[in-house]
């Protein structure tokens, strides 16, 4: 039996990814990915370009329109993926425009904090890299790293940009329930992103899953590349317990030895998946 290679969580340079949508699609071809969702942070800008590029290609690839929405829950920044959305939906566009405003204001405030401790001009430098895309903390981290203010990407977060660090600003993100409504209004499936990456105990994770399900969330990511088998099994069993559909994605941001499209994303075959009834995921025989 031929198993499809499916990757439902990826970024382009319209948020904090390194590749353009065309480059991302090209890479998906080279990695033999069959189905690729593009899920930039709070924007759908890359999707039209990816679809246009694919339309000019001979090699097959199904593109799923997606978005990764930032929300807040009990002080945690929780990400919710909207998969299989109508990326041209006008209501969604205006809601994402509000997210852009929040992002710009937050970045400005973070950079003001940096300026107060002597690191000036980060905002303008970051914006020059952002172009028409969505500004993220990753852009600020890159400026700090390039200037030699920090010695590693991780320390940009552990010293300045991470939660409650020197330049951290608490953003007024929407609730999880709101993001789920936005996604479902745009015809999409709402999926809890990377539940294994939040810094919370299993008891809190359970609470999160319960509330996500109660707010009409439909799925959860059940694996990430390089996740331990024990953690994977925990996520598989939580998906079963809370009756959330399984989703898989690499959360690809840039080519590196540790991260690749569609790699190491296998899951237990009995798990009900978000893509079970998607025509894009039916292999032509």
Residues found near ligand AMP in the complex (CB under 6 A): 16, 41, 70, 136-138, 154, 157, 162, 253
- Regarding 79 and contact with Mn ion (CB under 5 A), the answer is yes
Among candidates 118, 160, 165, which has minimal Cα distance to 141? Answer: 160
Taking residues 14 to 33 in sequence order and writing x for each that binds Mn ion by CB under 5 A, - otherwise, the string is --x-----------------
Considering CB distances under 5 to 8 angstroms, the limit depending on partner class, which of Mn ion, ligand AMP, none binds residue 157? ligand AMP
Could you say which residues in the range 230-269 bind Mn ion, by CB under 5 A?
A: 251
Pairing of strands 76-83, 6-7: unpaired
Question: Look-up: residue for tokens 């998946």?
Answer: 273
- Regarding 221 and contact with Mn ion (CB under 5 A), the answer is no
Least distance to Mn ion from the beta carbon of 39, Å?
6
What does 3-21 look like in DSSP terms, one character per residue? PP-EE--B--TTTT-SS-H
Question: Which residue is nearest to ligand AMP, using beta carbons?
Answer: 136
**Angle 241-196-213 from CA coordinates, rounded to 5°:** 40
Tell me the helix, strand and coil percentages in the chain, rounded to 5. Answer: 40, 15, 45
Comparing CB distances to ligand AMP, the nearer of 32 and 170 is 170
**Angle 217-220-223 from CA coordinates, rounded to 5°:** 175
**Angle 131-133-134 from CA coordinates, rounded to 5°:** 125
Least distance to Mn ion from the beta carbon of 194, Å?
6
Total residue length of the chain: 285
d(CA 265, CA 263): 6
DSSP helix/strand/coil, 180: helix
Comparing CB distances to ligand AMP, the nearer of 154 and 237 is 154
- Residues 219 and 274: beta-carbon distance below 8 Å: yes
Comparing CB distances to ligand AMP, the nearer of 193 and 271 is 193
Comparing CB distances to ligand AMP, the nearer of 14 and 157 is 157
d(CA 120, CA 113): 9
Among candidates 29, 27, 1, which has minimal Cα distance to 13? Answer: 27
Least distance to ligand AMP from the beta carbon of 256, Å?
12
Least distance to ligand AMP from the beta carbon of 98, Å?
15
Least distance to Mn ion from the beta carbon of 244, Å?
17
Torsion region of 259: left, alpha or beta (phi above 0 gives left; psi -120 to 50 gives alpha): beta
Comparing CB distances to Mn ion, the nearer of 256 and 285 is 256
Taking residues 125 to 154 in sequence order and writing x for each that binds Mn ion by CB under 5 A, - otherwise, the string is ------------------------------
Taking residues 172 to 201 in sequence order and writing x for each that binds Mn ion by CB under 5 A, - otherwise, the string is ---------------------x--------
Least distance to Mn ion from the beta carbon of 15, Å?
6
Chain positions contacting Mn ion, by CB under 5 A: 16, 68, 79, 193, 251
């Amino acid at each position: 039996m031929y198993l499809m290679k499916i990757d439902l969580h990826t970024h382009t340079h319209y948020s904090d990814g390194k590749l353009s949508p065309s480059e991302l699609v090209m890479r998906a071809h080279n990695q033999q990915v069959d189905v690729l969702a593009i899920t930039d942070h709070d924007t759908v800008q890359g999707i039209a370009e990816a679809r246009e590029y694919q339309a000019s290609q001979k090699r097959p690839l199904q593109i799923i329109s997606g978005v990764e929405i930032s929300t807040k829950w009990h002080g945690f920044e929780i990400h919710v993926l909207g998969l299989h959305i109508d990326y041209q939906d006008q209501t969604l566009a205006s809601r994402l425009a509000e997210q852009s405003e929040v992002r710009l204001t937050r970045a400005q405030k973070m950079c003001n904090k940096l300026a107060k401790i002597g690191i000036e001009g980060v905002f303008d430098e970051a914006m020059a890299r952002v172009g028409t895309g969505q500004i993220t903390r990753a852009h600020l981290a890159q400026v700090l790293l390039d200037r030699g203010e920090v010695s590693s990407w991780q320390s940009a977060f552990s010293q300045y940009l991470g939660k409650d660090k020197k330049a951290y600003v608490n953003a007024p993100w929407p609730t999880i329930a709101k993001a789920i409504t936005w996604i479902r209004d745009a015809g999409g499936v709402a999926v809890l992103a990377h539940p294994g990456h939040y810094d919370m105990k299993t008891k809190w994770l359970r609470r999160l899953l319960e509330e996500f399900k109660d707010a009409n969330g439909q799925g959860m990511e059940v694996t990430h590349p390089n996740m331990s088998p024990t953690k994977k099994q925990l996520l598989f069993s939580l998906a079963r317990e809370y009756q959330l559909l399984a989703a898989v994605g690499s959360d690809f941001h840039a080519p590196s030895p540790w991260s690749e499209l569609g790699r190491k994303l296998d899951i237990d075959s009995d798990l009900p998946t978000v893509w079970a009834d998607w025509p894009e995921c039916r292999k032509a025989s």
